[in-house]
Amino acid sequence: SKEEGIAWIKGSHLWNKLFVRTRFNDGHLVDGESGVVNGKKYETTPNILQNKDDYEFLQWEFELGDCVFFDMRTLHGNLNEITPKNDIHRYTLRMAKEGSKIEYRGDWAKEERAIMVANGYQNGDDLDGKMFPTLYKES
């Protein structure tokens, strides 16, 4: 149901802020500490669950095959403090512009970093190769 799915905070990608990863579905657990990583300041996410009236949320009733495309800086997650009873099956595809580089974001992304390092990628490498295929190339 829409209420058990993902909600996005309208306009949060325009706040000109970066946040450490926060899991909205388990009591607002923060994965990491605020601070500067690779020259960029990451802040602790505002307490969304305790201040729902302060935000405008976008939510939809999804059907099999539906697609959502959004800026990853948009704060998004589940708005319930309990884990949903139903599994949510999804496929995530992250896209980047040409010339993008790998930039590790801190300890909260260590699982992703370990996978990339195991596949030969290091901080500062081009987003290229077997894990980052080119979807469209101008001729």
* Residue 63 pLDDT: 85
What b-and-e string marks burial along 123-139, b requiring 16 or more CB atoms within 10 Å of the CB?
eeeebeeeebeeeeeee
Q: Please, what sign has the CA dihedral across residues 31, 33, 36, 38? A: negative
- Reported as half-sphere exposure (CB side, CA atoms, 13 A), residue 84 has a value of 15
- The DSSP output letter for 45 is P
Q: Give, in degrees to the nearest 5, the angle at Cα 70 between 125 and 53.
A: 125
* Residue 26 pLDDT: 55
* Residue 126 pLDDT: 92
pLDDT digits over 54-100, tens only? 999 999 988 888 888 898 889 988 887 666 666 667 777 888 888 89
Alpha-carbon span 68 to 66, nearest angstrom: 7
Alpha-carbon span 38 to 103, nearest angstrom: 7
Strand pairing report for 18-19 and 40-43: parallel
Q: Is 135 left (phi over 0), alpha (psi -120 to 50) or beta?
A: alpha
pLDDT digits over 108-133, tens only? 778 888 999 999 999 999 988 888 88
* Residue 124 pLDDT: 92
pTM of the model: 0.72
